């Protein structure tokens, strides 16, 4: 891991097109600004972890429960939408 120290208002530049700026420090929280092209995905790390956990839970279904859902699914009528 590359470790650098920044003051408020200072930035890092990653590659050609990504800039991260320290905007504010308040207590234990750091507010960061990220400038990146629209096709670069920027995510809080815990979201990736939570998604992996949800996928794992989803893959653990019991087929008999799927059968039960199918047999009891009531199609929405127009009025119920």
Binding residues vs other proteins (CB under 8 A): 38-39, 41, 43-44, 47-48, 50-63, 65-76, 81
Q: Which is nearer to other proteins, 28 or 62 (CB)?
A: 62
Q: How far is the CB of 4 from other proteins (least distance, A)?
A: 25
Count CA atoms closer than 13 A to 29's CA, side-chain side: 3
Across-strand partners of 31? 24
Closer residue to other proteins (CB): 2 or 73: 73
Helices (H) and strands (E) in the chain, counts: 2, 3
Q: Which is nearer to other proteins, 2 or 56 (CB)?
A: 56
**Judging by beta carbons within 10 Å of its beta carbon (0-12, 13-18, 19+), is residue 76 exposed, middle or buried?**
exposed
Shortest distance, CB of residue 22 to other proteins, whole angstroms?
20
């Amino acid at each position: 891991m590359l470790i650098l120290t920044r003051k408020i208002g200072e930035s890092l530049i990653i590659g050609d097109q990504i800039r991260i700026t320290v905007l504010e420090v308040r207590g234990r929280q750091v507010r960061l600004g990220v400038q990146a092209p629209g096709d670069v995905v920027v995510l809080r790390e815990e979201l990736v972890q939570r998604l992996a956990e949800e996928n794992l839970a989803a893959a653990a279904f019991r087929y008999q429960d799927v059968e039960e859902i199918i047999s009891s699914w009531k199609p929405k009528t127009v009025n119920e939408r």
